[in-house]
Amino acid sequence: MLRYCDESKIITIRKITAFPVAFTMSFQTLAPFCQSIKSIQRSHGRISSSIRHHGTSSKNEVQIVEVGPRDGLQNEPKWVETDVKVEFINRLSKVGLQHIETTSFVSPKWIPQFKDSLEVFQRIEKTDSISYPVLVPNIKGFETAIAQGVKEIAIFGAASETFSQKNINCSIEESLNRFRVVTEAAQKANVKIRGYVSTVVGCPYEGPIKAAAVANVTEELLKLGCYEISLGDTIGVGTIGSMSAMLKEVKNVADPSQLAIHCHNTYGQALPNILTALNHGIRVIDAAVSGLGGCPYAKGASGNVPTEDVIYMLHGLGVHTGINLPELVLVGRFICNYLGRNSESKVTFAMGDLKPMDKNAHTHNHDHSHSHSHSHSH
């Protein structure tokens, strides 16, 4: 039983635990929460319906951008051997993913983990149906990428001025000017450009971020030629409420088909936030196998949302991803075993009995929809 008394501002919850629980909450606090819960309760049918009628790709499809090899490993304190990075990406290429962010062509002085980025990109077994984008911080990184035959790059900005200064040592405006040189060169070379916006709902230095600031950076990146903007909750503080408010504002300057969502799971809100993004028409989700990654500028910020958990949720919605979940779980275990840590994926934990010879088990959550190539362009 849940009882709300307006006069005393007391809510009583019974039979949720072994003991009655009482706590104080104002109606102003409770109302948005209840509205969010009601929204989730209605969301399955609405999301399934909107997915079926969205875009020009498969009627019931969501694309996953696997960022584990890049965003997942970039802050890893342990050096990951080149052979392991190559094997990691090659295994990911065999589970049905069609978009795998592989590395970053950045100075080893800034990210030592990627001092072997050239060798990794050269050695991975590339498949025509899979895109292997790389992150480039400047024109030098782009020139290195183009020399290696890279067909898609990613550039990055922030919605927080302070975060921009701490992360890339320049203001938001300066960062956009720097990337203008990169995007002009990429367009001449017919290289696709994806943009990232960090700290879209919260910043470790400035706190909550105004949605208008996110919309402004998004609009500028689109003007620079980015085909898609990934909106990142870098420190994982977003909620259904803050995420929805931000997306509503951003959709004033961008169509949902130009947007992706990138959630970290610090407060365990990544899946609800992704569900919110789906409800706003977004059909591209960034995720990292086993929840690899984190933010070095925010104490306590955990990794990306685990790809395994996202896939389980999507398959439960009847959404086509083309990804074999049991095989993905095994890839996550491979990299976690090497790193000497447990996976952050609840799905991986639940599939504790899964063995390589059983990779076709757990078929209740295998995507049996037809497989097909998808260009991941809008």
Q: For 65-118, how does the pLDDT look when each residue is reduced to its tens digit (9 = 90+)?
A: 999 999 999 989 899 999 999 999 999 999 999 999 999 999 999 899 999 999
Between these two residues, 366 and 54, which has the higher pLDDT value? Answer: 366
pLDDT range class, residue 366, cuts 50, 70, 90: low
Total domains in the fold of the chain: 1
Choice among 203, 263, 295, 336 that is catalytic: 295
Q: Name the average pLDDT for the chain.
A: 83
Residue 135 belongs to what domain range?
51-365
Is residue 156 in some structural domain?
Answer: yes
pLDDT range class, residue 368, cuts 50, 70, 90: very low
The residues, ordered by sequence, that sit 6+ positions from 131 with a Cβ below 8 Å of its Cβ are 98, 99, 100, 151, 152, 192, 376
The pLDDT of residue 375 is above 50: no
CATH number of the domain that 57 lies in? 3.20.20.70
Is residue 221 in some structural domain?
Answer: yes
Is 336 among the catalytic positions?
no
Res 60: pLDDT: 76
Residue 179 and residue 195: Cα distance in Å, rounded?
Answer: 10
Is residue 37 in some structural domain?
Answer: no
Is residue 45 in some structural domain?
Answer: no
Q: Note the pLDDT tens digit of each residue in 166-225.
A: 888 889 999 999 999 999 999 999 999 999 999 999 999 999 999 999 999 999 999 999
Residue 62 and residue 275: Cα distance in Å, rounded?
Answer: 12
Residue 367 and residue 311: Cα distance in Å, rounded?
Answer: 9
Q: Note the Cα 323 to chain centre separation in Å.
A: 16
pTM, 2 dp: 0.82
The residues, ordered by sequence, that sit 6+ positions from 271 with a Cβ below 8 Å of its Cβ are 305, 309, 310, 313
Q: Of 83-87, 261-265, 302-306, 317-321, where does mean pLDDT reach its minimum?
A: 302-306
Q: Note the pLDDT tens digit of each residue in 22-76.
A: 333 333 434 444 454 455 445 445 554 554 444 334 447 999 999 999 999 998 9
Is residue 27 in some structural domain?
Answer: no
**Taking CA 65 as the corner, what is the angle to CA 338 and CA 182, rounded to the nearest 5 degrees?**
105
Is residue 14 in some structural domain?
Answer: no
Is residue 151 in some structural domain?
Answer: yes
